[in-house]
Structure formats: C-alpha cells, structure tokens
Amino acid sequence: MEKSPQTDWLIYCRPGFEQDCVQEALRQARMQKPVIAEQPLIQPCSGYVIVSLNDQSLNYHQLIFARQLVQLHHSISSLPERDRLTPILEVVSTLPGKFGTLWLEVPDTNEGKLVSNFTRRFQALLETALRRQGILEDQAQEMRNSLPRLHCFFPDKSSVLIGTSNLRNSADAIMGIVRQSMPAEAPSRSTMKLSEAIAVFMDRSQQARLLRQGMHAVDLGAAPGGWTWQLIKRGIRVTAVDNGPMKGPLANHPLVQHIRQDGFKFVPRKAVDWLVCDMVEKPSRVATLIGDWFAAGWCKHSIFNLKLPMKQRLTAIDSALGEIRKRLDEEGINYLMVAKQLYHDREEVTVFLTRTKQ
C-alpha cells in the first residue's frame, strides 16, 4: 500500500493551552481521516505545538485555540552562533516558488521575548539576502499579497522552524497576535478584549456596517465599563447592566444608561442591535443566556466571552457552543458563529455570533 504523504503543522497558541490546541487540531483532522501520522509530543507552556498528519488538512478559522497555522517544511536544531544566515538561506532556497512576506517569530513566552531582540536585528539581514536571491518578492503590494508567507519561528537563538502559510488559511498578524494598546481614558484593561475581538472577527467593511453610530447595544456585566467604552467611542448608545458602578467618564456619559441589575435577569424593553457580555460565570449558563436573547429576537449581533474551567476546557467550550447552535437551529435562525481564544483573553474564549440572511 502506498504511504500517504505526511504534513507537519506548526501551530502557535497561548502558553499553557498546548494540550487543548493539539486535541482540537487532531479532532478536526480525524473527521477527514481517522488515522494520523503520529501522536505529537507536547512541551508544556511552550506556546506552540507541532502536529504531523497524513493527507488531512487543517482549517485555521475553525480552530479555537490556534493563534497561527503554519505548514512546517524544515527545522534546524543547531544554528551556528557566528553565521545563522547561511543555513537558513540554504533551507529556504529549496522551497518552491516565491514569498510575499517574511515573518520572524518567537513563542509568546518570557524566553521568546529574549529571542525577539535577536529577531528584530536579524530581520533586515535575512530579508535583504532573500530579495537578492529572488526568493522574497520586492514588487507591488498587490503582488506580495497574492503570495504565501514565509515564517522563521525561533524557539531559541540556536534553532529555527521554517514554514509557510496560506493567506486565506492563517492569521493576518505576526505571531497570530492582533495587539491592542490600552487607551488612557478607558476604565479597565478588559476594553482591549473587545477591541481585539472586533479587529479579529470583522474586517473594516463589516465594522463600518455592523458598528454604526446611532445603534443601540446592551452590555451585560458592564462594570466598570471597559466594553461599554469601546461601543460609545463608535457612537453606539449602550444600556450598561451591572450592580457595580461604572467608572471614569462612563459614570455620567450621555450615551450610557446604567441599570443596576443582575445581567441574567435583565430584559430589554425593545430589541437592540448588539449584545456584549463578559460576565464571570459558567460557560453553560452564559450559553443559555445568549441562546435566549437570540431566540427572543432581542439582538442581531453579539460578542461574548466563555470562561474556561481548569480541566476539560475543550469539552466545556464544545458543550456551550453546541447548546447555542441547537437552540438557534430549533428556532430556525440563520447565523454565523466564530470562536477564538484571543491574545488578550486568559482563561476564556471569545465568540462572535450574528444573524445572517437566508
């Protein structure tokens, strides 16, 4: 019997979630073909995993715990300290075709931060050499955007994993991280979670269409107001529901109506455009709440967080998302739902849910 071609996938993830990342990737692969090439070895808290498959493919957009998806072609485990450039060029020159972008990346760990000082210096040197050899495209932006990316991932200064990514099946951000800055006037750091979610789940045209001035949103568990702040800065009127106080400029903002009530008991007087929710609660309870809002027609779009348990995290997320799908399917609601563990998330997953036309 002819052996199936093996493909190695390099997947970045949040440190500490390597097991969840692998478990999810293997499950997706086994849905296509039950036998995988080999069971991967997991290095805890490394911020990345390598998964070897037969002829299965992986869909980045359907993976919750994956920050980035790279097809791994070569690894060099002992780069000479005095000349790291030559062995990398030798390997890259064996890859077919040209590349539009070169990304030098490191794990999102304390060790990775130390290596990033090296990669920042090394970037220009490697780019220049690759352009000189005609491997890295140096033409118009349109041409570069049609070519795959080249990734050089450095777990440490002496080793590198070399791979490529398809622009339509990967994250459009270095290290898979859409970084956000903390606005000085925002009342809490949680504001960056919603800001990142908007940037990841919606392109600019969708943001302009779905987050318009004059819309109305409800923020459940709003205090002290980090998520509400993201909405009002876009001109959206917010009903902020929380027994706790709103802080800073939100305490008396003309676009904010603060209702001191339990978010699970609040019922809107009329339907709104958006429901956002970042309450610390079991994912199953939040899932039921979200399903109730959509089934009742109280909102069109939602971004919400599901807090993860200490164990069986993928199982808990599967159950919560499955509950929402079942409820919406029973109600005959057409929808799009996407879930990701974002960079500014910790023990949680962010979900974007929107009604769609038939």
Rounded distance between C-alpha atoms, residue 263 and residue 333, angstroms = 24
Final residue of a domain: which of 176, 204, 239? 176
- Concatenated DSSP letters of 127-152: HHHHHHTT-B--S-HHHHTTS-EEEE
Please state the rounded mean pLDDT for residues 328-339.
97
Read off the CATH number of the domain in which 24 is found: 3.30.2130.30
- Looking at residue 101, what is its pLDDT? 94
The answer as to whether 181 is a domain residue is: no
Pairing of strands 301-307, 274-277: parallel
What's the rounded mean pLDDT across residues 99-110?
A: 96
**Whether residue 261 has pLDDT greater than 60:** yes
In a domain, 1, yes or no: no
Could you tell me the pLDDT band of residue 2, with boundaries at 50, 70 and 90?
Answer: very low
Q: Which among 145, 176, 207 is the end of a domain?
A: 176
Residue 112's domain comprises 7-176
Given the residues 3, 113, 247, 307, select the one marked as catalytic: 307
Closest-CA residue to 348 (of 319, 313, 312, 296): 313
* Tens digits of residue pLDDT in 228-254: 999 999 999 999 999 999 998 899 999
Looking at residue 137, what is its pLDDT?
A: 86
Residues 57, 21, single domain; the answer is yes
Both 145 and 202 in one domain: the answer is no
Task: Pick the range with the lowest mean pLDDT from 13-27, 50-64, 87-101, 127-141.
Answer: 127-141
As for how many domains the chain has, the answer is: 2
pLDDT at 277 over 90: yes
Annotated active-site residue 307? The verdict is: yes
The confidence band for 143, taking pLDDT boundaries of 50, 70 and 90, is: low
Instruction: Give 200's contacts (C-beta < 8 A, 6+ positions apart).
Output: 178, 340, 342
The pLDDT confidence band at residue 41, using thresholds 50, 70 and 90, is confident
- Single out the residue in 147, 176, 205 at which a domain terminates: 176
Rounded Cα–Cα distance for residues 85 and 80 (Å): 9
Q: What is the pLDDT of residue 4?
A: 55
Q: What is the CATH number of the domain that holds 235?
A: 3.40.50.150
Q: For residue 42, how many other CB atoms are within 10 A of its CB?
A: 14
Pair (221, 311) in one structural domain = yes
Q: How confident is the model at residue 265 (pLDDT cuts 50, 70, 90)?
A: very high
